[in-house]
Amino acid sequence: MAGQTETIVAAILGAIEGGSLRPGGLIDEQELIEAHGVSRTPVREAMIQLETAGLIRRLPRKGAVVFKPTLAEFLAILEVHAKLEGQAAGLAARRLSAAHAAALEAAVAACEDHAARLGDAEPDRYYQLNMDFHRVVAEAAGNPFLLEMIKTNARKLMAYYRARYHYAGAIGASARDHRAIAALIVARRSEEAEAAMARHVQFDQVTAMDLLAVMG
Amino acid sequence: MAGQTETIVAAILGAIEGGSLRPGGLIDEQELIEAHGVSRTPVREAMIQLETAGLIRRLPRKGAVVFKPTLAEFLAILEVHAKLEGQAAGLAARRLSAAHAAALEAAVAACEDHAARLGDAEPDRYYQLNMDFHRVVAEAAGNPFLLEMIKTNARKLMAYYRARYHYAGAIGASARDHRAIAALIVARRSEEAEAAMARHVQFDQVTAMDLLAVMG
DNA sequence: TCTCCCTATATTGTTAACATGATAAGTATA
DNA sequence: TATACTTATCATGTTAACAATATAGGGAGA
């Protein structure tokens, strides 16, 4: 009967990543209690963990909501996130193992395949492929702390990433970026890989404004 | 009677930063309960927060200990930390306000003053001045998320930073670095400031090995 | 004397109940 | 009719007690 808090945390994280809990969405404490048959404490502890990680916010007497960054917060997180993803790509170029190289190729190929066969259709599925690509790069960097930070930040920006692929041509452009970045990593061109990844993540302000318009 | 958890968190953080709680040191739950006259829950919640932030570790049946990185962890954190501090310096060079410029000059001057008047003496006091310098730069970057990440990472590396200034000549070298970095920031030479700060933070492996030898 | 097993104890996760403070609703008065 | 005050309800932080589990220590047997 150990680890009820972790179960709740996993459940909430799953709901956030799965998209059933959207940024700004309320997390019903009572519902979680009944759904998992536990008391308030494990749920409460799970909330504290997620709040500390910055993934939810507990508003006084309003309940907990999934973190939904303001425009300023969004830009601030993105600024750092782009840097970290860039570092990951740069390190991956220096440390790429055979296994990671294979995984990287597979991830890029999957993105290209989606773009070629489906075009702009099924953006949510491409979102998953995109996640895979970035995860593989971060893992190939061989720095667990960097990986963890990237994961957490990505979750905060998730809703915007998701919305991104609803724009015409976005998926094709993303897949081409991925191929270019992967080529630089495989070629061990660390600094160029770093710069290319940072550029890829920190998309231009016009795109950012588009997304913010959609997300409200 | 609100905010007992926060009180406990602040107390532990203060003890860590003050140096009375060293990395690897045990955090006595019972002691905190008695010292603050609270029950287990607020203490427990404080522990969860600090563990999520990565500042402490809760070992099963061994109690909670202040996070003490292994060699591999230390290097991994430092690798990311240097990047983030570098970014902060680069952004500060672009965004420096008059108020921050004044604060920066004061922080650097304090470091130089210590080096000139005290030399290698009172390393723990210089440690505080060093913290001030890095905090000012991070604040001048104008990115609250970046600031928070740097703070948390710095706390994890704290013990090593502290030990660093016990080496002959370390304080003088640090103060000179600070002056050079500040000059680049004031001159708005963003990329050079970023590179200089990254180099300053990610000290060479020889130094790292020295510190690890001391810290065990 | 050494090893294995059993028991006692202590730590930790969990529960239910309590206390407090805020918000909302309803009523009364201007 | 609108506003202000009072009351009731609900959310939330906190407490104490309970339950389960692992570890350590002691005793017994080889």
Per-residue pLDDT of chain A in tens (216 residues, 90 and over written 9): 458 999 999 999 999 988 899 999 999 899 999 999 999 999 999 999 999 999 999 998 888 999 999 888 988 999 999 999 999 999 999 999 999 999 999 999 999 999 999 999 999 999 999 999 999 999 999 999 999 999 999 999 987 888 888 888 999 999 999 999 999 999 999 999 999 999 999 876 667 777 666 666
- For residue B129, give how far its alpha carbon lies from the nearest alpha carbon of chain A (Å): 26
- Give φ, ψ of A188 to 5 degrees: 60, 25
- Cα nearest neighbour of A75 on chain B: B143
The model's pLDDT over A92-101, given as tens digits with 9 standing for 90+, comes to 999 999 999 9
- Measuring CA to CA, which residue among A126, A135, A136 is closest to residue A105? A136
> Quick check: B215 pLDDT over 70?
no
The reply to whether residue B76 touches residue A144, judged by beta carbons under 8 angstroms, is: yes
Q: How far apart are CA A122 and CA A132, in angstroms?
A: 16
Residues near strand C (C-beta below 7 A) are: A 1-5, 37-42, 45, 60-61; B 1-2, 29, 40-41, 44, 58, 60-64
- Give φ, ψ of A118 to 5 degrees: -110, -15
For residue B150, give the H/E element and its range: helix B144-164
Report domain extents, chain B: 4-66, 71-215
- Give φ, ψ of A207 to 5 degrees: -60, -45
Count other C-beta atoms under 10 Å from residue A35's C-beta: 12
- A71-215: CATH topology is Four Helix Bundle (Hemerythrin (Met), subunit A) (1.20.120)
The reply to whether residue A83 touches residue B87, judged by beta carbons under 8 angstroms, is: yes
Cα separations in angstroms, A69 against A52, A200, B45, B141: 15, 21, 25, 19
The model's pLDDT over B78-134, given as tens digits with 9 standing for 90+, comes to 999 999 999 999 999 999 999 999 999 999 999 999 999 999 999 989 999 999 999
Interatomic CA–C1' length for residue A63 and nucleotide D8, angstroms: 21
CB B57 within 8 A of CB B65: yes
Q: How far apart are CA A116 and CA B161, in angstroms?
A: 52
- Cα nearest neighbour of B74 on chain A: A145
* Inter-helix orientation angle A205-215/A144-164, to 10°: 70
CB A156 within 8 A of CB A69: yes
Average pLDDT, chain A: 92
Reported in sequence order, the residue ranges of B6-149 that DSSP labels E, i.e. its strands, are 26-27, 56-59, 63-66
CB B76 within 8 A of CB B202: no
The reply to whether residue A83 touches residue B80, judged by beta carbons under 8 angstroms, is: no
- The dihedral region occupied by B144, where left means phi > 0, alpha psi between -120 and 50, and beta the remainder, is alpha
The reply to whether residue B49 touches residue A48, judged by beta carbons under 8 angstroms, is: yes
Which of A45, A48, A87 has its CB closest to that of B83? A87
Position B170, amino acid: A
Q: How far, in whole angstroms, is CA B206 from its chain's centroid? A: 20
The reply to whether residue A145 touches residue B83, judged by beta carbons under 8 angstroms, is: no
Structure tokens at B51: 């563990």
Residues of chain A in contact with residue B48, where contact means CB-CB under 8 angstroms, are: 45, 48-49, 52
Sheet harboring A63-66: ordered strands across?
A26-27, A63-66, A56-59
Count other C-beta atoms under 10 Å from residue A13's C-beta: 16
Q: How far apart are CA A149 and CA A156, in angstroms?
A: 11
- Measuring CA to CA, which residue among A88, A84, A3 is closest to residue A42? A3
CB B114 within 8 A of CB B129: yes
Which of B53, B83, B84 has its CB closest to that of A52? B53
Structure tokens at A173: 């452009």
Position B166 scores a pLDDT of: 86
Residue linked to tokens 């070298």 = B173
Task: Give just the sign of the alpha carbon dihedral A13, A19, A20, A22.
Answer: positive
Position B212 scores a pLDDT of: 65
What is the SS3 assignment for A166?
coil
- Cα nearest neighbour of A156 on chain B: B145
What's domain A4-66's architecture?
Orthogonal Bundle (1.10)
